């Protein structure tokens, strides 16, 4: 039996992020290791990021993401889904999901994200 992932229709209006986000250029890519999904990086910050994907993700699930820029610099980081919403643009299979980097390696994650943003030119 196929289970359905509950998703909200619209994103909340309140921004409760712990850190500011930047909107990356097209030179910054993201992928989930072991999952064939076309992800578009929506924003990125030291505490987390958001992606637009053709499928929803469960709140609380974790994945290992590879972030890469044109210069060849890349970094693998583990993050946990904190929200997922169907895009309000009328597209049937587009979801925006927010992810927070896992606690415990915050210093290493912040350094890696800083290097990634610097290498991408954003």
pLDDT digits (tens, 9 = 90+) for 34-55: 999 999 999 988 889 999 999 9
Please give the class, per CATH, of domain 21-120: mainly beta
b/e burial code for range 48-59 (CB count within 10 A of at least 16 → b) = bbbbbbeebbee
| Percent of the chain clearing pLDDT 70 (strictly above) | 73
Q: Supply the pLDDT for residue 98.
A: 97
Mean pLDDT of 75-95: 88
| Tokens standing for residue 6 | 């509950």
pLDDT digits (tens, 9 = 90+) for 22-32: 666 557 899 99
| pTM of the predicted structure, to 2 decimals | 0.77
Domain parsing of the chain, residue ranges: 21-120
Q: Supply the pLDDT for residue 99.
A: 96
- Of residues 119 and 60, the one with the higher pLDDT is 60
């Amino acid at each position: 039996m196929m289970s359905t992932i509950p998703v909200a229709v619209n994103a909340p209006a309140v921004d409760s992020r712990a850190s500011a986000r930047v909107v990356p250029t097209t030179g910054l890519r993201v992928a989930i290791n072991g999952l064939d999904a076309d992800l578009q990086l929506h924003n990125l910050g030291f505490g987390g990021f958001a992606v637009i994907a053709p499928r929803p993700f469960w709140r609380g699930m974790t994945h290992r993401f590879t972030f890469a820029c044109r210069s060849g610099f890349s970094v693998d980081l583990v993050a946990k889904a904190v929200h997922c919403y169907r895009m309000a643009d009328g597209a049937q299979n587009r979801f925006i999901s927010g992810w927070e980097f896992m606690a415990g390696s915050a210093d290493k994650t912040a350094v890696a994200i800083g290097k990634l943003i610097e290498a991408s030119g954003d």
